[in-house]
Amino acid sequence: MAQIIDGKAISLAIKDELKEKAAKLKAEGTEVTLAVIQVGNNPASTVYVRNKKKGCEYIGIGSLSYELPEETTEEELLSLIRELNGRKDVNGILVQLPLPAHIDENKVIRTINPKKDVDGFHPESVGALCIGQPGFVSCTPAGVIELLKRSGISIEGKECVILGRSNIVGKPMALLMLRENATVTVAHSRTANLKEVAKRADILIAAIGKPKMITREYVKEGAVVIDVGINRDADNKLCGDVDFDDVAEICSAITPVPGGVGPMTIAMLLNNCIQSVELQK
């Protein structure tokens, strides 16, 4: 039976380390504050935003909350971001996605000061990651790297196959695995012979958004399987992109859903908030 990677426990250990760092910064006179903006009331977003604020509270940093109505205009949102960009008492700015259809997401992301871009979505942050310069890294892929390292799984020289090419997960995940000296393949919905490609992986990372699609037919025996998916199955139960029960019997390590990658995302966001102090010096 595979090693079950406990993202909840690992994220808690990280948050406890961040709590110490936040206390040290406070003792030196630096208070860290994250501004969180939500537009409209998408129920999933409301849960995510609440958890992000709870995370801030846990590690002892401040959070400012902006809950704007669905009808907020793009210009109103951009003007709030510009105001927060200029505030010395705000270190991080996070605009929860998705945004209502009348607001241009790219324009919003580009308006955030890259030095406060704790989500790591700004083109400048993505570019910095691409050429190995300091900057914020997207939280979910950063969390996957941390999970692997803290579980004692070595990355260097390994065949890593990433399923999915989104801007938030797949693409930055590929850049991070490359930085860790893995040999990286990014596969996606148009990949020919997907099963064969996935089966090459020593480390298989699924970020496709299809409930339980990845069965053992996609997995090499002894591989490490990281499930980034958060879906609902036919019984409305939370599940990943990986058919956990099927794959766990043949792989060497696997993340569960929930309790795997999910809790790491917030830990990495909080890490970015603490890191923002360095980047803003």
Which residues sit at the interface with ligand GUN, rule CB under 6 A? 94-97, 119, 139
What gap in Å lies between CA 261 and CA 205, rounded to an integer?
Answer: 11
Determine the number of helices (DSSP H) and then strands (DSSP E) in the chain.
Answer: 10, 11
Is 262 part of any known ligand binding site? no
Q: Which of 15, 21, 52, 171 is catalytic?
A: 52
What gap in Å lies between CA 106 and CA 115, rounded to an integer?
Answer: 17
Q: Which is nearer to ligand GUN, 137 or 247 (CB)?
A: 137
Q: Which is nearer to ligand GUN, 112 or 187 (CB)?
A: 112
What gap in Å lies between CA 128 and CA 120, rounded to an integer?
Answer: 10
CB of 94 to ligand GUN, least distance (A): 5
Is 164 part of any known ligand binding site? yes
Pairing status of strand 183-187 against strand 203-206: unpaired
CB of 232 to ligand GUN, least distance (A): 16
State the distance between the two ends of the chain, measured CA to CA, in whole angstroms. 48
Q: Which is nearer to ligand GUN, 146 or 202 (CB)?
A: 146
Is 166 part of any known ligand binding site? yes
Is 216 part of any known ligand binding site? no
What gap in Å lies between CA 280 and CA 33, rounded to an integer?
Answer: 13
The yes-or-no answer on residue 227 being catalytic is: no
Structural contact between residues 221 and 187, judged by C-beta atoms closer than 8 angstroms:
no
CB of 111 to ligand GUN, least distance (A): 14
Q: Which is nearer to ligand GUN, 187 or 264 (CB)?
A: 264
CB of 118 to ligand GUN, least distance (A): 9
State the DSSP H helix or E strand holding residue 231, giving kind and residue range, or none if neither.
strand 231-232
Cα dist. 36→78, 128, 145, 264 in Å? 14, 23, 25, 18
The yes-or-no answer on residue 96 being catalytic is: yes
Q: Tokens 């699924």, residue?
A: 206
Q: Which of 6, 96, 227, 275 is catalytic?
A: 96
How many residues does this entry show for the chain? 281
The residues assigned a catalytic role are 52, 96, 119
User: Residues annotated as binding site for NADP(+)?
Assistant: 164-166, 230
User: Residues annotated as binding site?
Assistant: 164-166, 230
